[in-house]
Each structure stands twice: as C-alpha cells, then as structure tokens.
Amino acid sequence: MFEKEQENGLRRRNYAEGQEINQEAKEKAVEEAEKKMAARERAEQMLREVKSAKQQMQKIVANMQQVVKAVQAIRSQLKLVGNDIPSVDRDATVLKSLQNKMMDLKSQLSGLRQALIVEEENSLREKFPDWTDGQVEVEAVKRAEDIIATLGLNDG
C-alpha cells in the first residue's frame, strides 16, 4: 500500500513538473513572438519614415528644378548675370539634411536586419537542435529576408 501511495505521489509530481515545463515553454514562445512583433513594428515605423523622407526629397528636387528654370527664364529676359537663387540654396540645405536622415535610417534598418537574423537563429536552434550552424544561418537569413521583403524594406 505504501508503495502505491509513493508511486501515485511520484506520478503527481511528474505531472506537475510536466505542466510547469509546458507553461514555461508557452511563456517563452509568447515572449519570442512579442520580440519579433516589436522588431517588426520598429522596422515598419522606419519604413514609413524612409518613404516620407524620399517623398520630401522628390518634392524638393522637383521644386528646385522648377524654380531654377523660372529664374533662368526671368534672368534671360532681363539679361541678368549670376546664378545665386536663395530659395534653391535653402532647398539644397534641406535636401542635404534629408539625405543624412535617409543614411541614418538605412543604417538603423541594417541593424534591425541583423537583430532579426539573430532572433531567427535563436528560434531555429531551439526548434532544430540537430541542425549545423551553417544550416541555421542560411535558414535564418532566408527567413529574415522574407520578412524584410514582406515589409517592403529591401528596395533600399
């Protein structure tokens, strides 16, 4: 009788430990999913900023071209000499600032890409412990590139 009680107690402990392990695995999976979502949200925000900066730059360049043409036409009519156009100079300064912002955002996106690859590698190592480092790296890069393509971040 005592042995049966011990066996039942052991089964209950094993069951409780199994439940605890399952709960920890679920929590870890949720935590990993939250990390991936946060990285994706950061990437999407940067994509919006990149697109906005590109649009601003395109508008400024188009405006600069129109102003230069208009000023050249007026100067030729008035037979004036000189190429200084204050509004174009200001636009050129803003354009340079936007180009610097674009370079910074692209650098940040590159960092996010690397972080995404690392997260994918960690996830793959847990799911496929028998894979070699090379297999993990190739698949992680592929998955990260797929996510980046889905977000539209691979067009530079």
pLDDT tens per residue across span 64-87 = 788 878 877 777 777 666 666 777
Q: Quickly state the pLDDT bin for 134 (edges 50, 70, 90).
A: very high
Residue 75: other Cβ atoms inside 10 A: 14
- In the prediction, which pLDDT does 1 show? 66
Task: Return the higher-pLDDT residue of 96 and 15.
Answer: 96
Q: Quickly state the pLDDT bin for 50 (edges 50, 70, 90).
A: confident
Distance CA 110, CA 144 (A): 12
Question: Do residues 105 and 46 touch, judged by C-beta distance below 8 A?
Answer: yes
- Residue range 89-118: mean pLDDT, rounded: 85
Phi-psi region of 82 (alpha: psi -120 to 50; beta: other; left: phi over 0): left
First to last CA, the chain: 73
Q: Output the CA–CA distances (angstroms, integers) from residue 127 to 25, 63, 73, 121, in the order listed.
A: 12, 54, 68, 10
pLDDT at residue 130 greater than cutoff 90: yes
- In the prediction, which pLDDT does 13 show? 73
Write down the pTM of the prediction: 0.50
Task: Return the higher-pLDDT residue of 37 and 122.
Answer: 122
Question: Do residues 110 and 154 touch, judged by C-beta distance below 8 A?
Answer: no
